[in-house]
C-alpha cells in the first residue's frame, strides 16, 4: 500500500510541471513589448563668428546616443545603462567641442584647419540635453533620470553602469527579474535590443527599426570587471545600440543587463562572442531605496500573457479578446497587432493523423480484446487430448468419459472412445440422463 502515494505523486508531477512551461517563442513575445529605444540627445545653440562678419547663432544637428531600456514596473520605471544616458545626464567637454565644431561648419562652411580651430575656440556653446524613450509603436515619451550609477570608463571606476529612468506612463509591459545566482555555464539566453546596424539599415522601414531585435547564445563565463563587480560573459551577438538591453532566459525573465562588448585592439571593431552582462542581482541592489516597485501588477502583462497562452493552445477566439484588451491599454504594438490578425484568421488545423491513428489502434485493441474474452469464455473448461491421456494413465482415480454426440452422429461414426459412456447432449440438457458413474470424479465430455 505504501507505494501508491508515491506513484500518484509521480503521475501528477508532469502535468503541473508542463503547465508552467512555455516555449521560447512565447517567452520572447512576452518580453518584447517591455523593451524600448532610449535616446540621449544634446542639442545646442552655438554663437559663431567666422573670419569676417558678425556673430551669428546656429543650431547644429544634435549629438545623439541611442541604447536600449526595459520597464521594470508598469508605472513607468525603466532600466538602462548609465553610459547610454550619460550625455544627457552630464554632457562632456568632448560633446561641447563637437557641437561647437558643427556650429562653425554650419555657419562658416569649409575653413582651413587653422581658421576652423580658431573659430571653434571663439564659439560660445549653450548645450540643451534631453532624454526620451521610443516605444515599439512609435510613441515618444520624455524621461527623467531617477537614479544613476556611473559607467566604469570616463566618470568613475566603481559604478555599475546602471540608470533608472522615470516616464509619465501607466500600465506598461514589464519584465520580471530572474535569480542570477542560479545561472550556469551553457544556459541559453537571449539579448533584446536596438542595435545601430538595424536602426541605420537602409532597407528597413521606420516601424521595423522601432521593434526590438533578438539575438541568442549561451552563458560562456563568469568574470569580474575592473571594479571587481561580477559580470556574466556570453557568446550571444551584440552591437552598439543594444547596450542596456535585457538579457532574458528561455522563460522570459531578466537574467541581467547588457553592459559592454569587446573591441579588437587594432581597428576598434566589435569582437563577437565576448560580450558582458550585469547580473540581475546587481539590478535588485541598484533598485533598493528607489520608488520603483518590483511587485507592481501590470494590466497589460495580464492581458498579453493570457492571450499568448490561449493563442499557443489553439483557443484563437479567446486569444483575440485578450489581445484586444492589451491593444486598448497600449495601442498598435507590432507583435500585438500581428498576433491579433492571426487569431482572427487562424491557420487551418492540420488533419489529426495522430489522433485518428490512436483511435483506430484503441478500437482494434478493444475488438481483439472482446474476441479474446469470448474465446476464453468458450474454451475455459476445455481440456487437451494429451491431458486426458495423462489423467487416464497416471491419475489415481480415472476420469469419467462422456461421449455426448447425438444418437445419429454416434451411430454413423466409426470413432468409439474406449471406456466412455454415450449420453446425448439433449439428454443432459433435459436432465433425463442416468449416469452409472461416481459424480465426484472428474468428468470429460467429448462432443465432436
Give the three cell numbers for residue 89. 545626464
Averaged pLDDT, 137-153: 91
User: Is pLDDT of 9 > 50?
Assistant: no
**Mean pLDDT, rounded, for 282-293:** 94
Q: Are 73 and 294 in contact (CB under 8 A)?
A: yes
Mean pLDDT, rounded, of the chain = 84
Task: Please tell me the predicted confidence (pLDDT) of residue 50.
Answer: 85
pLDDT of 203 higher than 50:
no
With a cut of 60, say whether residue 37 has pLDDT above it.
Answer: yes
Q: Look at 424 and 435; give whichever has higher pLDDT.
A: 424
Grid look-up 538595424 returns: 198
Q: Are 243 and 162 in contact (CB under 8 A)?
A: no
More confident residue, 17 or 72: 72
71 with 36: CB under 8 angstroms? Answer: yes
Q: Averaged over 322-331, what is the pLDDT?
A: 96
Q: Which of 138-152, 329-343, 396-410 has the lowest mean pLDDT?
A: 396-410
| Residue 133 clears pLDDT 70, i.e. is over it | yes
Instruction: Check whether 225 has a pLDDT greater than 60.
Output: yes
Cα distance from N-terminal residue to C-terminal residue, the chain = 50
Identify the helix (H) or strand (E) that includes residue 427. Answer: helix 425-430
Q: What is the pLDDT of residues 352-375, one digit of tens each?
A: 788 888 889 999 998 888 888 888
Output the pLDDT for position 70: 97
What are the angstrom distances between the C-alpha of 328 and each of 131, 172, 297? 27, 12, 17
Q: What is the pLDDT of residues 73-84, one digit of tens each?
A: 999 999 999 999
Task: With cut-offs at 50, 70 and 90, classify the pLDDT of residue 146.
Answer: very high
- Between 85 and 435, residue with greater pLDDT: 85
Q: Note the pTM of the prediction, 2 decimals.
A: 0.72
The pairs formed by 154-159 with CB atoms below 8 angstroms and a separation of 24 or more are: 154/83, 154/86, 154/92, 155/82, 155/86, 155/90, 157/226, 157/227, 158/227, 159/82, 159/227
More confident residue, 177 or 112: 177
Query: Is residue 152 within 8 Å of 159, Cβ to Cβ?
Result: yes
**Range with lowest mean pLDDT among 10-14, 159-163, 253-257:** 10-14
- What is the spatial distance between Cα 32 and Cα 337, in angstroms, rounded to a whole number? 13
pLDDT of residue 72 exceeding 80, the answer is yes
Spatial separation of the C-alpha atoms in residues 357 and 136, rounded to whole Å: 45
Specify burial of residue 25 (Cβ count, 10 A radius: 0-12, 13-18, 19+): exposed
Task: Supply the pLDDT for residue 4.
Answer: 43
Q: What percent of the chain lies above the pLDDT cut of 70?
A: 85
Amino acid at each position: 500500500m505504501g507505494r501508491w502515494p508515491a506513484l500518484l505523486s509521480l503521475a501528477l508531477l508532469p502535468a503541473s510541471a508542463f503547465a508552467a512551461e512555455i516555449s521560447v517563442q512565447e517567452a520572447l513575445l512576452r518580453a518584447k513589448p517591455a523593451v524600448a529605444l532610449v535616446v540621449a540627445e544634446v542639442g545646442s545653440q552655438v554663437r559663431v563668428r567666422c573670419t569676417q562678419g558678425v556673430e551669428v547663432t546656429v543650431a547644429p544637428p544634435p549629438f545623439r546616443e541611442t541604447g536600449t531600456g526595459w520597464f521594470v514596473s508598469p508605472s513607468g520605471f525603466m532600466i538602462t545603462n548609465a553610459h547610454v544616458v550619460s550625455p544627457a545626464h552630464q554632457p562632456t567637454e568632448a560633446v561641447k567641442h563637437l557641437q561647437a565644431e558643427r556650429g562653425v561648419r554650419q555657419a562658416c562652411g569649409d575653413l582651413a584647419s587653422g581658421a576652423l580651430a580658431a573659430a571653434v575656440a571663439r564659439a560660445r556653446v549653450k548645450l540643451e540635453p534631453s532624454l526620451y524613450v521610443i516605444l515599439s509603436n512609435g510613441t515618444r515619451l520624455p524621461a527623467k533620470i531617477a537614479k544613476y550609477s556611473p559607467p566604469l570608463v570616463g566618470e568613475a571606476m566603481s559604478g555599475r553602469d546602471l540608470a533608472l529612468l522615470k516616464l509619465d506612463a501607466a500600465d506598461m509591459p514589464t519584465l520580471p527579474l530572474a535569480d542570477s545566482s542560479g545561472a550556469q555555464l551553457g544556459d541559453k539566453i537571449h539579448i533584446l535590443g536596438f542595435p545601430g546596424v538595424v536602426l541605420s539599415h537602409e532597407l528597413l522601414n521606420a516601424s521595423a527599426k522601432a521593434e526590438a531585435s533578438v539575438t541568442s547564445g549561451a552563458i560562456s563565463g563568469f568574470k569580474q570587471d575592473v571594479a571587481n563587480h561580477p559580470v556574466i560573459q556570453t557568446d550571444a551577438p551584440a552591437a552598439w545600440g543594444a547596450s542596456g538591453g535585457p538579457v532574458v532566459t528561455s522563460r522570459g525573465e531578466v537574467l541581467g543587463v547588457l553592459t559592454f562588448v569587446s573591441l579588437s585592439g587594432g581597428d576598434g571593431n566589435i569582437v563577437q562572442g565576448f560580450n558582458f552582462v550585469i547580473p540581475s542581482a546587481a539590478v535588485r541592489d541598484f533598485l533598493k531605496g528607489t520608488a520603483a516597485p518590483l511587485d507592481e501588477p501590470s494590466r497589460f502583462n495580464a492581458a498579453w500573457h493570457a492571450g499568448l497562452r490561449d493563442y499557443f493552445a489553439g483557443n484563437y477566439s479567446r486569444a483575440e479578446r485578450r489581445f484586444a484588451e492589451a491593444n486598448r491599454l497600449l495601442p498598435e504594438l507590432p507583435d500585438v497587432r500581428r498576433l491579433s490578425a492571426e487569431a482572427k484568421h487562424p491557420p487551418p488545423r492540420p488533419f489529426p493523423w495522430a489522433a485518428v491513428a490512436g483511435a483506430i489502434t484503441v478500437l482494434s485493441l478493444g475488438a481483439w480484446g472482446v474476441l479474446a474474452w469470448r474465446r476464453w469464455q468458450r474454451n475455459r473448461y476445455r481440456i487437451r487430448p494429451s491431458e486426458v491421456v495423462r489423467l487416464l494413465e497416471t491419475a489415481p482415480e480415472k476420469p469419467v468419459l462422456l461421449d455426448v454426440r447425438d444418437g445419429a452422429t454416434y451411430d454413423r461414426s466409426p470413432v468409439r472412445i474406449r471406456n466412455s459412456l454415450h449420453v446425448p447432449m439433449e439428454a443432459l440438457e433435459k436432465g433425463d440422463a442416468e449416469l452409472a458413474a461416481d459424480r465426484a470424479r472428474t468428468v470429460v465430455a467429448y462432443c465432436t
